[in-house]
């Protein structure tokens, strides 16, 4: 089933502009291996910071380099897990539920009991005042909704830039996991974009979400 969205003229215009910019970036990233590594670290730092991880970019860089860092063990583990997930995910099939669960297992191992599994109970998203702002799909419908979403995404001919946004949005709406939904949504959008243009493996789009210009 097609997710409910409309393609506007502005979206198509931006798609063309981004495609042109990506072509130039690909040439730059092919030449600069240091930049690729640096951007991967920025992606991880920003994605975790959105989830309230307090480690600085310098601390994240040190952890990935194998250095000892003073910090909360949970936050350090989040960095280590995210790095492993980003290192592996671009080999995955973005339309495979098994691969989605495998990526979640990498992202959350040692942090949640339900690592690598869809949730089996209801879940809600709350704002800073404790008010419910979103209720995820009932657990018995999660697998079917994700399956429908991936089947649609695999078949659709809409531009990859738009498709990746729709998939990201719908995953957050379904909220398939008890924890890690935000990180997984951003990771899966990266994967979809990288399958279209490999340079997206190294573009820190999470940084723009964390610190929009």
Q: Which residue has the higher pLDDT, 200 or 75?
A: 75
| Alpha-carbon span 39 to 202, nearest angstrom | 6
Q: What is 11-199's CATH superfamily?
A: Fido-like domain (1.10.3290.10)
Percent of the chain residues past pLDDT 70, beyond the cut:
93
Q: What average pLDDT score do residues 133-159 get? A: 94
pLDDT (tens digit, 9 = 90+) per residue, 53-111?
999 999 999 999 999 999 999 999 999 999 999 999 999 999 999 999 999 999 999 99
For residues 167 and 95, the answer to whether their CB atoms sit within 8 Å is: no
Whose CA is closest to 2, among 194, 182, 170? 170
pTM score: 0.88
- Show binding-site residues for ATP: 179-186
Which of the four pLDDT bands, split at 50, 70 and 90, describes residue 210? low
Question: Where are the domains positioned within the chain?
Answer: 11-199
Q: Which residue has the higher pLDDT, 213 or 84?
A: 84
Please give the distance of CA 21 from its chain centroid, rounded to a whole number: 21
- Known catalytic residues? 175
Which of the four pLDDT bands, split at 50, 70 and 90, describes residue 129? confident
Q: Secondary structure of 50-61 in the HEC alphabet? A: HCCCCCCHHHHH
The DSSP H or E segment spanning 133 is: strand 132-135
Predicted pLDDT of residue 213: 47
């Amino acid at each position: 089933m097609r997710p409910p969205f409309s393609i506007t003229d502005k979206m198509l215009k931006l798609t063309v502009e981004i495609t042109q910019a990506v072509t130039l970036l690909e040439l730059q990233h092919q030449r600069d291996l240091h930049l690729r590594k640096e951007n991967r670290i920025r992606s991880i730092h920003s994605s975790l910071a959105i989830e309230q991880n307090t480690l600085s970019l310098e601390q994240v860089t040190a952890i990935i380099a194998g250095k000892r860092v003073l910090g909360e063990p949970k936050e350090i583990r989040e960095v280590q897990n995210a790095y492993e997930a980003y290192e592996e995910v671009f080999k995955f099939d973005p339309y495979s539920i098994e691969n989605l669960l495998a990526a979640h297992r990498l992202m959350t191992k040692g942090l949640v009991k339900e690592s690598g599994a869809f949730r089996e109970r209801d879940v809600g998203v709350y704002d800073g005042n404790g008010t419910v702002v979103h209720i995820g799909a009932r657990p018995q419908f999660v697998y079917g909704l994700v399956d429908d979403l991936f089947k649609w995404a695999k078949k659709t001919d809409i531009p990859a830039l738009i498709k990746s946004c729709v998939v990201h949005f719908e995953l957050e709406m379904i909220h398939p996991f008890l924890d890690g939904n935000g990180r997984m949504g951003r990771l899966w959008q990266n994967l979809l974009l990288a399958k279209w243009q490999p340079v997206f493996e190294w573009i820190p789009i999470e940084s723009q979400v964390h610190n929009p210009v």
